[in-house]
Chains A and B, each alone.
Chain A
Amino acid sequence: MSAALPLVIDGLCYRAGNMPILNGVDVAVTAPGITAIIGANGAGKTVLLRLIDGLLAPTSGTISIGVSAHPRPSTAFVFQRPGLIRASAAANVSLALAPLKLSRRERHDRVRAALHHVGLAEKAGAPATRLSGGEQQRLALARAWATAPDLLLLDEPTANLDPASSHAIEHLVVSMAEAGTKVVLVSHNLGQVMRLAEDVVVLAAGLAVEHGPVRSTLSSPHSPQARAYLAGEMPWTAFAALP
């Protein structure tokens, strides 16, 4: 069981200036493995991940990760764009280990293991920005994997990747979940959600309108917003028709 469980989000609101983004999200995730967050563009998915990671402070509401506050469960975030610095692949992974204050030897071993895990051991010395898109995203996963996080947050990690690269990323994400890391995945790819996730949260207009096992939620959603999203209706049309 991951130290990041339960992940409890209670009455979470976030405003960017005067614009409400999240309007009271309530979600309690207790299952290990992969939880997917889906919803239309602008539903607040990425903001929710940023709030969970602590990159943003909520306007109101709380997020509780795990049962232990000391030490706080560790998190890692893989963004849609891999966010690599102009240095070697190994240096990019090593960067993530800087706050952990490891010995030189330990750091070196972890970098090697992480690169090996994602199949980039032979490209350790290659400039990260020269790697292909799929390799860069695998490197971003290696950077997250090296820190052995309790909670891994993924924001559309396979957007813009070809099927083979997407498959490689999915395989790595599953292996991390099987190793005990709790994974929260934002994705627009419903096939990917079906393949990877145990449960799914549907966000609509800043609210969690549905949360349940992935198959039943996607095949027979209860809320009109989730039905509209899964039917591919335009959100402004779908929500205008709601009472």
Chain B
Amino acid sequence: MLQTLQETLSRLAALDPAVIAIAGLSLRVSFSAVGLGTLLGVPLGALVAVSQFPGRRLVVGLLNAAMGLPPVVIGLVLYLILSRSGPFGGLGLLFTPSAMIAAQTVLVVPLIAALTRQIVADAQDYLGEQLSSLGLNGAQRAAILIFDTRFSLVTALLAAFGRAISEIGAVLVVGGNIDGHTRTMTTAISLETQKGDLPLALALGVVLIAVVIAVSAVASLLRSYAMRAYG
């Protein structure tokens, strides 16, 4: 056990290129997925919050339920869509980082949309009538409420990032865990544990936790600074 920890620390201290490459790919995939998820999920959640339409309760229920979608099932569905015989097989995306980004985007969009809906709905309780009174339409109200709740939405995006970077099922199925190509921190930890290379698995685990803490800390600092500056 002690020897394993020593080896882990020496790998981290030496900035093992394999660890750096795997961590880099993980970050690229998860940041891209959260970026795309933000573009899709935030407006979707805000529009659901400010709109009244038949079946709205059902949509809200589906969004909330979709937050718990099993990653491996998302991976399986995307695998079928992207496989050679699937509707998008011709794109040749299966077992590429792009497929992994797509899978994680599908994973985080419901989470971002559902949390955004709740945050914007709460803001609408105290600002909604005022904005309606100003003669703003639904899209304008949604945009303003997103702007007003931007500091709270950071928390939703952090939750999405945490879900994306820590999942294994979806990226394993559509990425294939190919060494040097689609291997992420979570798939590598699983593989190295099975192979018995515990120092590498532990080193990756430490990097994964450090990355999550660092991203959260930077986001919190930016949020605090912005709140001080803009109220």
Contacts and interface: CB of A to CB of B under 8 A. Distances in A.
Given A81-B126, A83-B127, A55 B133 contact: yes
17 contacts: A53-B133, A55-B132, A55-B133, A76-B133, A77-B133, A83-B127, A83-B129, A83-B130, A86-B150, A86-B230, A86-B231, A87-B147, A87-B231, A88-B230, A99-B135, A143-B134, A147-B134
B136 interface: yes
Interface of B: 126-127, 129-136, 140, 144, 147-148, 150-151, 229-231
Contacts of B136: 98-99
Interface in A121-149: 127-130, 143, 147
Contacts of B132: 55
Contacts of B126: 81, 83
Nearest to B132: A55
A55 B230 contact: no
Contacts of A147: 134
Q: Is the interface of A mostly helix, strand, loop or mixed?
A: mixed
The range of chain A's interface size is 20 to 34
Contacts of B131: 83
User: Nearest 9 CB-CB pairs, A to B?
Assistant: A127-B231, A83-B130, A129-B231, A99-B135, A77-B133, A85-B148, A130-B231, A86-B231, A96-B134
B127 A85 contact: yes
Contacts of A96: 134
A95 B134 contact: yes
Given A96-B134, A98-B136, A127-B231, A86 B129 contact: no
Contacts of A53: 133
A98 B134 contact: yes
Interface of A: 50, 53, 55, 75-77, 79, 81, 83, 85-88, 95-96, 98-99, 127-130, 143, 147
A127 B136 CA distance: 22
A76 B130 CA distance: 10
B93 to A, nearest CB: 40
Given A77-B129, A83-B127, 9 more contacts: A76-B133, A79-B130, A83-B126, A85-B147, A85-B148, A87-B230, A96-B134, A99-B134, A147-B134
A130 B229 CA distance: 10
Nearest to B133: A77
A2 to B, nearest CB: 18
A79 B129 contact: yes
Nearest to A75: B133
B123 to A, nearest CB: 9
B119 to A, nearest CB: 13
B133 A128 contact: no
A176 to B, nearest CB: 16
Given A99-B135, A127-B230, A130-B231, A55 B144 contact: no
A171 B126 CA distance: 27
Contacts of B134: 95-96, 98-99, 143, 147
Contact of A50 (B127, B129, B148, B229): B129
A129 B149 CA distance: 13
B230 to A, nearest CB: 5
A77 B128 CA distance: 13
A87 B132 CA distance: 18
A147 B130 CA distance: 14
A95 B132 CA distance: 12
Nearest to A74: B135
A55 B151 CA distance: 29
Contacts of B135: 99
Nearest to A127: B231
A98 B151 CA distance: 23
B129 A55 contact: yes
A196 to B, nearest CB: 22
Contacts of A50: 129
A172 B114 CA distance: 43
Nearest to A130: B231
A86 to B, nearest CB: 5
A77 B130 contact: yes
A77 B134 CA distance: 8
